[in-house]
Amino acid sequence: MKITRRNFVKTGALVGGGVITNQIVSSKIFGQDADKGELIAVSTWGGTVKSSEKAYEFLKNGKNSLDAIEAGIRVAENDPTNSSVGYGGLPDEDGIVTLDASIMDWIGNAGSVAAMEGIKNPISVAKLVMQRTKHVMLAGDGAKKFALQNGFKEENLLTENSRKAWEEWKKKNPHGVNRVDEKNHDTIGMLAIDNSFNLSGGVSTSGMAWKIHGRVGDSPIIGAALFVDNEVGGAVSTGNGEFVMRTVGSFLVVEKMREGFSPQEACEYAIKRIYKTAKQNKDIQVGYLAVNKKSEVGAFSLYDGFSYAVAKGSETKVVKSKFLA
Ligand code: GLY
């Protein structure tokens, strides 16, 4: 069975009651030295397990964590069946697919793109913004122009399935402003540690389905959906970006780890901060995923249904996240 967020959630629901299960959905032996312990790649949502596997393959081959993150996220961006990331992502209320992405390395360098149209791999554009410019973020037409100048080609990102979904939504919401699909955005966030013990992270998304054209979520905002500090650890978010931006969530998670919290405790702290404002709204979801320098992993979400993939040692597994309410 192909693991998607939705069928994973169904499987998780059978276990029920907030009981945490470690469900191994695939495993792979990477070689004799697989258990060095430090190499790790993690990604938000069980459906992105192939991204974690790809990143881990890179790490095993001695590539650095930045390249591993890019390679892993590109797998999700290229997958037309992933309706929240890259090619096949659900469009905004005007039927236009706009993408946000960010990347950060162990030195503290960062790059991002926001509301970019027509380029399939925003994570690679974000990496080039980081490496080839003095800026951190490029947005809209400027981001696209930069991508085209750097060898990316323009493509139609709206698949037939996404177009049909948009047309159905449009029929039901002819004046559609703000009638977003709150649950339909399963952003990929990834963290990886390489064999030099260096940590990098990245995030990529098509954002909230049916959003107002021009809306930018948390994904390209450094400190919101992504933060890495090589002395401490890294964190990524998924879900309703507005709630993450308002609390500068990933930065908060990393700063709590700096104070001595475990990744799990830090994610729980940041989710509780959101819950103070979000408790009236059960339609939203936010999940954090964090890794510290000891390759310990933590994750927590507002509500049931969040999962993540971990590639470490000799196996890749999908884990159902703990949740608050
Ligand atoms: N977290 C993705 C978004 O809100 O766009």
Structural domain includes residue 55: yes
Task: Give residue 184's pLDDT band: very low, low, confident or very high (50, 70, 90).
Answer: low
Nearest CA to ligand 1 atom 5: 207
Residue 53 lies in a domain: yes
Q: Indicate the pLDDT class of residue 278, thresholds 50, 70 and 90.
A: confident
Active-site annotation, residues: 187
Check if 239 has its Cβ closer than 6 Å to any atom of ligand 1.
yes
For residue 36, pLDDT beyond 90: no
Residue 317 lies in a domain: yes
83 lines ligand 1 (CB under 6 A): no
Classify residue 1: in a domain, yes or no.
no
Could you tell me the CATH number of the domain that includes residue 158? 3.60.20.30
Order of strands, edge to edge, in the sheet holding 40-44? Answer: 22-27, 315-320, 307-312, 40-44, 188-193, 199-205, 99-104, 110-116, 137-139
- Ligand 1 atom closest to residue 244's alpha carbon, by position in its atom list: 1
In the predicted model, what is the mean pLDDT of residues 239-252?
96
Give the count of domains, the chain: 1
CA angle 183, 184, 190 (to 5 degrees): 100
CB count within 10 Å of CB 242 equals: 15
Task: Give the start-end residues of each E strand in the chain.
Answer: 22-27, 40-44, 99-104, 110-116, 137-139, 188-193, 199-205, 226-229, 233-239, 286-292, 297-301, 307-312, 315-320, 322-323
pLDDT band at 23 (very low <50, low <70, confident <90, very high): very low
**Which of 258, 201, 198, 206 is closest to 224 using CA atoms?**
201
Q: What is the pLDDT of residues 61-118, one digit of tens each?
A: 999 999 999 999 999 999 999 999 999 999 999 999 999 999 999 999 999 999 999 9
236-254: average pLDDT: 96
Q: Is residue 2 part of a domain?
A: no
The values of phi and psi at residue 5, to 5°, are -55, -45
- Residue labelled with tokens 């009651």: 17
Nearest to 245 by CA among 284, 280, 274, 279: 274
Confidence of residue 5 (pLDDT cuts 50, 70, 90): very low
pLDDT of amino acid 24: 33
- Of the listed ranges 10-24, 179-193, 219-233, 304-318, the least confidently predicted one is 10-24
The secondary structure of 55-100 as a DSSP string is HHHHHHTT--HHHHHHHHHHHHHH-TT-TTSSTT----TTS---EE
Q: How far is the CA of 83 from the centre of ligand 1 (A)?
A: 13
Instruction: Inform me whether the pLDDT recorded for 234 exceeds 90.
Output: yes
Residue 186 binned pLDDT confidence (cut-offs 50, 70, 90) = confident
Test site for ligand 1: of 85, 203, 219, 250, most ligand atoms within 8 A of the Cβ = 219
Cα–ligand 1 centroid distance for 231 (angstroms): 27
Q: Does 41 map to a domain?
A: yes
Ligand 1 atom nearest 215 alpha carbon: 5
pLDDT value of position 29: 32
Q: Between 140-149 and 122-132, two packed helices, what is the crossing angle to 10 degrees?
A: 80
Q: Is residue 3 part of a domain?
A: no
Separation of 13 CA from ligand 1 center, angstroms?
Answer: 24
Mean pLDDT of 178-207: 84
* Residue whose tokens read 């037409």: 141
- Collapsing DSSP to helix, strand or coil, 180 comes out as coil
Structural domain boundaries, residue 33 = 8-323
Please give the pLDDT value at position 38: 82
53 lines ligand 1 (CB under 6 A): no
The Å distance, Cα 314 to ligand 1 centre, comes to 32
DSSP one-letter string for 189-217:
EEEEE-TT--EEEEEEE--SBTPPTT---
Q: Ligand 1 atom 4: the closest Cα is on which residue?
A: 241
pLDDT band at 171 (very low <50, low <70, confident <90, very high): confident
Predicted local distance difference test score (pLDDT) of residue 144: 98
- Best residue among 43, 44, 183, 187 to mutate for probing ligand 1's pocket (most ligand atoms within 8 Å of CB) is 187
* The predicted structure's pLDDT at residue 35: 38
pLDDT at 7 over 80: no
Q: Is residue 275 part of a domain?
A: yes
